[in-house]
Chain A
Amino acid sequence: MTGRDLLGIEGLDRTDLERILETAERMQEVGRRDVKKVPTLRGRTLINLFFEASTRTRTSFEIAGKRLSADVVNFTPSSSSLTKAESILDTAMTLDAMDPDAVIVRHKVAGVPKRIADALAAPVINAGDGAHEHPTQALLDCFTVKQEKGRFDGLTVTIIGDITHSRVARSNLYAFTKLGAEVRLAAPPTMLPTGIESLGAKAYTSLREALEGADVVMVLRIQQERLDGQPRRRDRARSRRPPPERDPRPGAQRRRGADGRPVSVRGALGEARGMRASGARSARQASEGDRARVGVVEEVRGEERDG
């Protein structure tokens, strides 16, 4: 890890990821106890610095900190919906004066956690910055997959949605790739950022091809306000339809599965049996999120780990 900050998955290696996931597994046992606390961070202060509102992530970090017996302070600077130029140095100096043991930062502009980390003595955990990274979400997703599949090597993970604007897609791309899985990204060309394949994923504009043989499927939310003149849902969905049997393009043929039958999107999704969005799975993932974040909080405070 770069220093003791956790600014992204990009800078981590496989052993870092595995260590954090192991800690999260250990914390599962704590979560089942009557008193869900360990004394690891007793007397330590964590600051949740959320420039962008997110009740779920903030609460998850709050619970993670409390399970480790830390004092958790929520610090929510007034956040207008418009870009508000903040002096990053001023913010960091104000925080420094509070002498925190770790600061958890979320901001709608990429890079702000990094700039705060540069100026702050305490370690910084990135809780999501613009379209850059959301490392703890990716760790949580990895944790969920590990619970379900028991491994990463040889898995195919397909991420569908607006990749361009997604920090979750970037962090998951790094995390699953580093852990040994193959990552596919599926989106219309306008939602695939330039050069994404240089980060180690395969990009698909055909949903069907992206889903074929996938073990895990992640579906990202598409934000209407980011469509920026692109057509809405109905047209995107057309790419999921089977192509015509007689495609006029030379050499084109309908893709078929291993059994020789045409692959349907619905079937591919069923085969994946990955993270289908069901209410119960999401709720369980939320509690797994607390574990994953306990792992991260412990990691950045590593030198105080008591065993």
Chain B
Amino acid sequence: MASGRIWIRGGRVLDPSTGRDEVADLLVEDGKIAAVGAGLAASGGEVLEAAGAWVVPGFIDLHVHLREPGQEYKEDIASGGRAAVAGGFSAVVCMANTQPANDDPSVTEYILDRARQESPARVYPVGAATRGLAGEVMTEMVALVDAGCVALSDDGKTIMDSGVMRRVFEYSQLARVAIITHAEDRTLVREGVVNEGPVSTRLGLPGNPSIAEVIHVARDLMLAELAGAHLHVAHVSTAGAVDLIRRARERGVHVTAEVTPHHLALTDEATLGYDTNTKMAPPLRSETDMRACRAGLADGTLDAIATDHAPHAVHEKDVEFTAAPPGVIGLETAVPVTLDLVRANELAPLEWVRRLSTNPARIIHRAGGSLAVGAAADIALVDPERRWIYDPAKGFSKSRNSPWAGREMIGCAIATLVGGVLVWDVERGVLLP
């Protein structure tokens, strides 16, 4: 990408990789960060006035579903990439449950090729851990990683066979990537569609008990420990799982974990109106669980905020609650929704940025999450105060399945740079490709 000079002036620079938190200027040159400091003398190139804004490393979403190939009516790499940069994400990690599944290097190459042509955000594919996500036969993990996969996962399709899971963990060390698990014991979930508890009882809908997640996290932690592998637990939703992960890390298990904005901000009470845009997997949990997730994020047990951006078409969600597919879109609302933790003084601004950029980069072993001189100029400008009304119909995702439709949001990404190129400007829209 050709790019000239861009001066980002007068913003509060928050860089978790160096610990920098100060008002400063930042110079971008040739796609890289050329200088950071107070009072840089601007000469030539474009100027971005950042006064009042936070200048942060571009966010990296560890968990999105871009639906391409195969389900482009829900989302594709172009629309998902645009939604990403509009939300402050310079990179997204896309799950393998496409059609066909990303269980073969040819699919990985297709995704990366489409991303180069269509996406303003960087796209990092996750390869399937088993062929066809069937949980039986392992994929050619090394070939997938060589093709560009940054992790392996059967996300959404939990590998229930513990013997298969053990081999997946063991073999993954050849591939040197994390195994991401969607931890839900399907034999306990059964027909469950909302968190089991007073809310499911009031709604008269089948409950999905929190123990289904806890028991599965326990199994995966033990298997990962046995194999000496890197386990990354996707979308943690229960107090029990947070506790298990905290204790496993203390005894040296290589485990990382993420939590979604919706599990940090909403409880199962949001489901009381039967809105299928509050149906997720795992489901929205109790107040106690939500508090535990927030505390786990604050103390570092949960390393990352990841959206689990899961687009579904209107006609798929506008059905009986039990029949609707689980999942919500999240790329364009993650910043305002999770800034609530900063406003509530549960998370310092620098730590918030760390969980959205520096830690995700570390988990997938990719550059990013840094504003150090010489780093790729993946940068987001965040206005933490800006108020706006979220209308999914006006967003960049092809889908509208959000629990925050029509809500007032506080905070947004006002600009996003990828490789030194301005790809999102809140006043001008998505600028590339």
A residues with a Cβ closer than 8 A to B are 10, 83-90, 107, 109-112, 114-115, 118, 129-133, 167, 170, 193-196, 198-199
Known A83-B320, A88-B319: A110·B204 in contact at CB below 8 Å: yes
* Inter-subunit contact B197/A194 (CB<8 Å): yes
* Inter-subunit contact A193/B200 (CB<8 Å): yes
CB-CB under 8 A from A84, the residues of chain B are: 323
| From A86, A88, A131, A195, contact of B205 by CB (8 A) | A131
Instruction: Report how far A120 CA is from B32 CA in the complex, Å.
Output: 56
**Cβ proximity bits B343-362 to A, threshold 8 Å, 1 near / 0 not:** 00000000000000000000
CB<8 Å pairs between A and B, sample of 15? A83-B322, A83-B323, A109-B320, A109-B322, A109-B323, A111-B203, A111-B205, A118-B273, A129-B204, A131-B205, A133-B204, A167-B204, A193-B207, A195-B199, A199-B202
| From B198, B207, B315, contact of A87 by CB (8 A) | B315
* Inter-subunit contact B204/A194 (CB<8 Å): no
Q: Does B201 contact A (CB under 8 A)?
A: yes
Interface core residue of B204, B273, B323 (most chain A CB under 10 Å): B204
| From B197, B203, B323, contact of A85 by CB (8 A) | B323
* Inter-subunit contact A132/B320 (CB<8 Å): no
* Inter-subunit contact A114/B204 (CB<8 Å): no
B200 → chain A, closest Cβ, in Å? Answer: 7
* Inter-subunit contact B196/A194 (CB<8 Å): yes
Interface residues of chain B: helix, strand, loop or mixed (majority): loop
B residues with a Cβ closer than 8 A to A are 196-205, 207, 209, 273-274, 315-316, 318-324
CB-CB under 8 A from A193, the residues of chain B are: 200-201, 207
* Inter-subunit contact A198/B320 (CB<8 Å): no
Residue of B nearest to A197 (CB): B198
Interface core residue of A110, A114, A194 (most chain B CB under 10 Å): A110
* Inter-subunit contact A107/B204 (CB<8 Å): no
CB-CB under 8 A from A195, the residues of chain B are: 197-201
* Inter-subunit contact A130/B196 (CB<8 Å): no
Total contacts A-B at CB 8 Å: 78
CB-CB under 8 A from B318, the residues of chain A are: 87-90
Residue of B nearest to A166 (CB): B204
| From A85, A107, A114, contact of B273 by CB (8 A) | A114
Known A83-B323, A86-B320: A198·B198 in contact at CB below 8 Å: yes
Instruction: Report how far A90 CA is from B209 CA in the complex, Å.
Output: 33
CB-CB under 8 A from A111, the residues of chain B are: 203-205, 274, 320-321
* Inter-subunit contact A107/B320 (CB<8 Å): yes
Residue of B nearest to A89 (CB): B318
Instruction: Report how far A115 CA is from B321 CA in the complex, Å.
Output: 10
CB-CB under 8 A from B207, the residues of chain A are: 193-194
Instruction: Report how far A141 CA is from B382 CA in the complex, Å.
Output: 59
Instruction: Report how far A104 CA is from B324 CA in the complex, Å.
Output: 23
* Inter-subunit contact A110/B315 (CB<8 Å): no
Interface core residue of A118, A129, A194 (most chain B CB under 10 Å): A194
* Inter-subunit contact B202/A86 (CB<8 Å): no
CB-CB under 8 A from B273, the residues of chain A are: 114, 118
B199 → chain A, closest Cβ, in Å? Answer: 8
CB-CB under 8 A from B316, the residues of chain A are: 85
B142 → chain A, closest Cβ, in Å? Answer: 40
CB-CB under 8 A from B197, the residues of chain A are: 194-195
| From B198, B209, B321, contact of A199 by CB (8 A) | B198
CB-CB under 8 A from A130, the residues of chain B are: 204-205, 322
Residue of A nearest to B324 (CB): A85
* Inter-subunit contact A110/B321 (CB<8 Å): yes
* Inter-subunit contact A196/B320 (CB<8 Å): no
Query: Lowest 9 CB-CB distances: which A-B pairs, in order?
Result: A111-B274, A132-B204, A195-B198, A131-B204, A109-B320, A110-B204, A85-B319, A193-B201, A85-B323
Interface core residue of B205, B207, B319 (most chain A CB under 10 Å): B319
B47 → chain A, closest Cβ, in Å? Answer: 48
B368 → chain A, closest Cβ, in Å? Answer: 40
CB-CB under 8 A from A86, the residues of chain B are: 319-320
| From A90, A115, A131, A199, contact of B274 by CB (8 A) | A115
Residue of B nearest to A51 (CB): B320
Instruction: Report how far A86 CA is from B324 CA in the complex, Å.
Output: 10
Instruction: Report how far A196 CA is from B202 CA in the complex, Å.
Output: 8
| From A115, A118, A132, contact of B203 by CB (8 A) | A132
* Inter-subunit contact A196/B203 (CB<8 Å): no
| From B201, B322, B323, B324, contact of A196 by CB (8 A) | B201
CB-CB under 8 A from B322, the residues of chain A are: 83, 109-110, 130
| From A10, A88, A133, A194, contact of B320 by CB (8 A) | A88
B189 → chain A, closest Cβ, in Å? Answer: 13
Interface core residue of A85, A196, A199 (most chain B CB under 10 Å): A85
CB-CB under 8 A from B196, the residues of chain A are: 194
* Inter-subunit contact A87/B201 (CB<8 Å): no
B215 → chain A, closest Cβ, in Å? Answer: 16
B209 → chain A, closest Cβ, in Å? Answer: 8
Instruction: Report how far A85 CA is from B274 CA in the complex, Å.
Output: 15
